[in-house]
C-alpha cells in the first residue's frame, strides 16, 4: 500500500504541475539563503494554511528563522505528532483486538498502524530532501505523508464512525501542508 501511495502522490504532483514536471529537478539551496533575509516566523507562517500550527513549530527553531528552518521544524513537529498517533493506536489496539468483535473498527485501526510507519518514513525522507536541496522529492514525500494520514482517516469516514486518532492525524497533516506551502515559497524565492 505504501509504494502505491507514493506513486499516487507523485502522479498527482506531476499532473497538477505539468510544466514543472518537465523541468529537470532543481536544487533550491541557494534560494534558501536568499529568500530568508529579513523575514520572521510570523510573516512566513502567515503564508501557510495553518499559521497557528506553523507558529507552534517555529518555537522549536534555534537560530535564524528561514523557510528552510521552518520547513524542518514543521516536518519534525509532524513526526512527533504521528509518533503520538502511533502510540495511541497501539494502546487502542491492545484493548480493541482483545475484546472487540467489530471487524471494521479493527481493520481501520490496523490500516492506521500500517500507514503511520510509512508517514514517518516519508517525513524523514522529506528532511533528507530538504537537506540535499531536491525540491521535487521534498514535495513528493510531503504529499505522500499527507495522503497516508488521509488514508487512516478515510476508513473511519467510510464507516460513518468518529476516528479516535483524528486529533493527531489532523495536526500531522497540517504540519505537512505548511511544510509543503513553505517549500513552494523556496522554489519561487518569496
31-188 homologous superfamily: Invertase/pectin methylesterase inhibitor family protein (1.20.140.40)
Distance, CA of 71 to CA of 58 (rounded, Å): 9
Smallest Cα–Cα separation from 104: which of 161, 25, 41, 173? Answer: 161
DSSP-based three-state secondary structure for 134: strand
Distance, CA of 73 to CA of 79 (rounded, Å): 10
- Taking only Cα atoms into account, the Rg of the chain, rounded to an integer number of angstroms, comes to 17
The DSSP string of 7-31 is HHHHHHHHHH-HHHHTSPPPB-HHH
What is the pTM (predicted TM-score) of this model? 0.76
What's the residue count for the chain?
190
Residue with cell 481493520: 107
Domain borders along the chain are: 31-188
pLDDT tens by residue, 13-69: 333 433 333 333 333 332 333 333 446 889 999 999 999 999 999 998 988 889 999
Distance, CA of 16 to CA of 34 (rounded, Å): 27
pLDDT tens by residue, 94-141: 887 777 788 888 899 999 999 999 999 999 999 999 999 888 999 999
Q: Is the dihedral of CA 73, 116, 82, 46 positive or negative?
A: positive
Amino acid at each position: 500500500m505504501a509504494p502505491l501511495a507514493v506513486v499516487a502522490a507523485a502522479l498527482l504532483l506531476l499532473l497538477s504541475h505539468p510544466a514543472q514536471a518537465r523541468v529537470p529537478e532543481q536544487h533550491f539551496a541557494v534560494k534558501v539563503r536568499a529568500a530568508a533575509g529579513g523575514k520572521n516566523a510570523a510573516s512566513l507562517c502567515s503564508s501557510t494554511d495553518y499559521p497557528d500550527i506553523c507558529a507552534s513549530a517555529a518555537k522549536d527553531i534555534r537560530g535564524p528563522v528561514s523557510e528552510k528552518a521552518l520547513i524542518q521544524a514543521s516536518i519534525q513537529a509532524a513526526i512527533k505528532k504521528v509518533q503520538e498517533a502511533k502510540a495511541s493506536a497501539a494502546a487502542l489496539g491492545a484493548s480493541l483486538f482483545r475484546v472487540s468483535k467489530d471487524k471494521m473498527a479493527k481493520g481501520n485501526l490496523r490500516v492506521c498502524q500500517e500507514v503511520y510507519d510509512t508517514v514517518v518514513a516519508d517525513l524523514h525522507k522529506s528532511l533528507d530532501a530538504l537537506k540535499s536541496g531536491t525540491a521535487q522529492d521534498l514535495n513528493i514525500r510531503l504529499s505522500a505523508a499527507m495522503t497516508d494520514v488521509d488514508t487512516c482517516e478515510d476508513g473511519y469516514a467510510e464507516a460513518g464512525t468518529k476516528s479516535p486518532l483524528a486529533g493527531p492525524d489532523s495536526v500531522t497533516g497540517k504540519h505537512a501542508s505548511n511544510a509543503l506551502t513553505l517549500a513552494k515559497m523556496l522554489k519561487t524565492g518569496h
